[in-house]
Amino acid sequence: MLKKMLSLTLAMAFSSVAVADEADVKKAMEAKLGAKVESVNKSGYLGLYEVYADGAIFYTDDKVSAIMVGGQMIDAKTMKNVTDERMKKLTAIRFGDLPLDRAIKQVRGDGKRVLATFEDPNCGYCKRLAKEMLKLDNVTVYVFLYPILSEDSVRKSKQIWCSPDRAKAWSEWMVDGKVPAGREDCDTTAITKNQEFGRKLNISGTPTMFFGDGERVPGAIPLARIEQKLNQVK
């Protein structure tokens, strides 16, 4: 039901039930959406509540008489996208909680700056990102193999993971187009666990990046923005 609602720009759900606080809003919204609500907060705008569920932000009033789906809240004074800023905070993680032992580690220069990416080996945007990231210095990049596009993606991920030099095999495929020729029958549970972990984080597309402060950035972004963010994180 929730996924169908997400395809709409605005959905209205009328109810005569009076709602008193965040707990009641949460209960009422879970009943309406048929999904677990992660958090409910007063938005500070128009008396609306911000409801975070299934990786998306909804807005509703204190009676849950109307539900805004897919809309963006813009502060009229600053013209800042409030919804976008809130999504950055709500989808952020603790970098230390990432299972880095299940990632392909690439160190350049002193490796002090850190970045993690979830990527599918058949993702065109991921290949473009891999080429751009070759220009980064003094960084440690953790690549989580996250095959979600096809069975071939799973096969290539296994071949890369089973290679004697995973970082080399990954780079040769993503940058040079050299098809991995490694075996597929080593212990590849890391890939399965990455898929499970990614689903828990609501990662639905690749690439998805996480910076050292835990901020999530979905999609490939320009190298200049990556550099800027890496330099901002202390």
Is 67 in the same domain as 138? Answer: no
Contact 219, 205 (CB under 8 A): yes
Residue 4: predicted pLDDT: 46
Question: How many structural domains are present in the chain?
Answer: 2
Q: How far apart are CA 181 and CA 94, in angstroms?
A: 35
How many residues appear in the chain? 234
Answer yes or no: is pLDDT of 15 > 50: no
Element (H, E) at 117: strand 113-119
Is 135 in the same domain as 194? Answer: yes
Domain end residue (candidates: 59, 90, 121): 90
Residue 118: predicted pLDDT: 98
**For residue range 32-88, what is the model confidence (pLDDT) as tens digits?**
999 899 899 999 888 899 899 888 889 999 999 999 988 888 989 899 888 888 888
Residue 83: predicted pLDDT: 86
Is 46 in the same domain as 122? Answer: no
Is 84 in the same domain as 102? Answer: no
Percent of the chain with pLDDT over 70: 91
The whole-chain average pLDDT of the chain stands at 88
Answer yes or no: is pLDDT of 194 > 90: yes
Domain end residue (candidates: 90, 124, 147): 90
Is 112 in the same domain as 70? Answer: no
Answer yes or no: is pLDDT of 19 > 80: no
- Contact residues for 145 (Cβ-Cβ < 8 A; gap 6+): 104, 119, 121, 157, 160, 161, 190, 191, 194
Contact 201, 116 (CB under 8 A): no
Beta-bridge mates of residue 113: 139
Which CATH number belongs to the domain containing residue 208 in this structure? Answer: 3.40.30.10
Q: In what order do the strands lie in the sheet with 67-69?
A: 37-42, 49-53, 56-60, 67-69
Answer yes or no: is pLDDT of 106 > 80: yes
Is 66 in the same domain as 110? Answer: no
Domain end residue (candidates: 68, 90, 112): 90
Is 220 in the same domain as 111? Answer: yes
Domain coverage including residue 137: 95-232
Is 190 in the same domain as 203? Answer: yes
Residue 91: predicted pLDDT: 82
